[in-house]
A and B are shown apart, each in its own frame.
Chain A
Amino acid sequence: MTAAGWSAALAFFGIVALLTKPLGGYLARVFEGQRTPLSPLLRPLESAIYRVCGVREDAEMTWYEYAIALLLFSAIGFAYLYVLLRTQAWLPLNPQHFANLSPALAWNTAISFTTNTNWQFYSGESSLSYLTQMAGLTWHNFVSAGAGIAIAVAVIRGVARSQTCRLGNFWVDLTRACLYVLAPVAFAAAIVLVWQGVPQNFSPYRQVTTLQGGAQTLTGGPMASQEAIKEFGTNGGGFVNANSASPNENPTPLSNLLELVLMFALGAALTYTYGTMVRDTRAGWALFTTMAILFFFGFAGAYAAEAAGNPLVHQLGVAGANMEGKECRFGAGASALFATVTTDTSCGAVNAMHDSFMPLGGLVTLANMQLGEIVFGGAGSGLYGMLGFVVLTVFIAGLMVGRTPELLGKKIERREVQFAILAVLVTPVLSLLPSAIAVMVPAGLATLGNHGPHGFSEILYAFTSTNANNGSAFAGLGPNRFYDYATGANMLLGRFAVIVPMLALAGSLAGKRAVPAGPGTFSTRSAVFVALLLGTIVVVGALTFLPADALGPIAEQLFLRHGVTFR
Chain B
Amino acid sequence: MRPLIEQTRVAALLAVVTIALLGGVYPLLVTAVARVAFPYQAAGSMVRLGGRVIGSAIVGECWTSPACLHGRPSASSYDPTATGGTNLAPTSAVLIAQVRRRIVRLRRDNPHAVLPLPIDLVTASGSGIDPDVSPAAAYYQAPRIAAARGVSVARIDAVIARAVRPRTFGILGEPRVNVLAVNLALAALHPRPGAPARSTRARRRQADAARTRCAA
Contacts and interface: CB of A to CB of B under 8 A. Distances in A.
B125 A218 contact: no
A48 to B, nearest CB: 9
Contact of B206 (A54, A64, A214, A324): A214
B89 A217 contact: no
A329 B174 contact: yes
B207 A215 contact: yes
Contacts of B86: 324-325, 353, 356
Contacts, number: 409
B131 A247 contact: yes
B100 A219 contact: no
A444 interface: no
Given A203-B43, A210-B61, A564-B91, A72 B174 contact: no
Contacts of B167: 4, 253
B127 A246 contact: yes
Nearest to B137: A328
A474 B187 CA distance: 40
Contacts of B68: 212
A145 B178 CA distance: 36
Interface in A312-330: 312-313, 316-330
Interface stretch (B47-55, B143-151, B154-162): B47-55
A560 B203 contact: no
Nearest to B187: A211
Nearest to B19: A139
Q: Which of B19, B92, B116 has the most CB of A within 10 A?
A: B92
B176 A328 contact: yes
B192 to A, nearest CB: 12
B23 A134 contact: yes
A123 B75 CA distance: 14
A253 B41 contact: no
B162 to A, nearest CB: 18
B187 to A, nearest CB: 7
B8 A220 contact: no
A203 B53 CA distance: 14
B106 to A, nearest CB: 9
A136 B96 CA distance: 41
B126 A73 contact: no
B15 A52 contact: no
A15 B22 CA distance: 27
Contacts of B183: 211-212
A44 B27 CA distance: 21
Q: List the 3 shortest-distance A-B pairs measured between CB atoms, nearest first.
A: A253-B173, A320-B119, A213-B196
Interface of B: 1-2, 4, 6-15, 17-19, 21-24, 26-27, 29-31, 33-35, 37-38, 41-46, 49, 52-65, 68, 72, 78-96, 99-100, 103, 116-120, 122-134, 167-168, 170-174, 176, 180, 183-184, 187, 194-197, 202-203, 206-207, 210
Interface of A: 4, 7-8, 11, 49, 52-55, 59, 62, 64-65, 68-69, 72-73, 75-77, 80, 123, 125-126, 134-136, 138-139, 142-143, 171, 174-175, 178, 183, 186-187, 190-191, 194-203, 205-206, 208-220, 222, 224-226, 240-242, 245-248, 251-254, 256-257, 309-310, 312-313, 316-331, 333-335, 350-353, 355-359, 449-450, 452-454, 457, 474-476, 556, 559-560, 564-567
Given A75-B11, A252-B168, 9 more contacts: A125-B82, A187-B26, A194-B34, A212-B206, A324-B88, A325-B85, A326-B126, A328-B72, A474-B87
27 contacts: A65-B7, A69-B11, A72-B8, A73-B14, A76-B15, A125-B82, A183-B26, A190-B34, A191-B38, A196-B41, A199-B43, A199-B45, A206-B44, A212-B61, A212-B62, A218-B55, A242-B128, A245-B126, A246-B129, A248-B58, A256-B172, A328-B134, A328-B176, A330-B174, A359-B90, A556-B91, A566-B92
